[in-house]
Structure 1
Amino acid sequence: MTAQVLAETYAGDARTTVHLGGVLVASPRLALRWLRGQAERLANGLDPDPGTPWVPRTALRAVPASEPDAPAELRGWATDDECQGDALHRLASGGEFEFVVRDAVCWYGLTARPLLIPDFTREAGALISA
Structure 2
Amino acid sequence: MKTETGQLPLSAEVTYSAAVYAGDAVTSVCLGWVRAPSRRLGLRWLRAQAYRFADGLDPYPPRTWWAPATLLHQVHLQAPDAPTELRAWADDDGCQDLALRTLAAGHRFDFIARDHTCWYGLTARPMVAQSLRPQPGALVTA
Flag whether TM exceeds 0.5 (same fold).
Answer: yes
TM range (shorter): 0.7 to 0.9
Q: Is 1:98–1:112's contact at 8 Å kept on the other side of the alignment?
A: yes
CA RMSD, Structure 1 to Structure 2 (Å): 2.4
Q: Is 1:63–1:69's contact at 8 Å kept on the other side of the alignment?
A: no
1:29-52 CA deviation, whole Å, 9 max, x = no partner? 111100000000000110114666
Residues 4-83 of structure 1 mapped to structure 2, 5 A cutoff: 4-49=15-60, 53=66, 62-83=74-95
> Is the counterpart of residue 115 in structure 1 residue 130 in structure 2?
no
Which structure's residues are more often helix, by fraction?
A: 1
Identity %: 50
Residue equivalent to 1:92: 104
User: Greater CA radius of gyration, 1 or 2?
Assistant: 2
Specify every segment of 5 or more residues in structure 2 that has no aligned partner in the other structure, as ranges.
1-11
**What amino acid maps onto 1:86 in structure 2?**
L
Specify every segment of 5 or more residues in structure 1 that has no aligned partner in the other structure, as ranges.
none
TM-score, normalised by the number of residues in structure 2: 0.76
- Deviation (angstroms), 1:4: 0.8
TM-score, normalised by the number of residues in structure 1: 0.82
Aligned length: 123
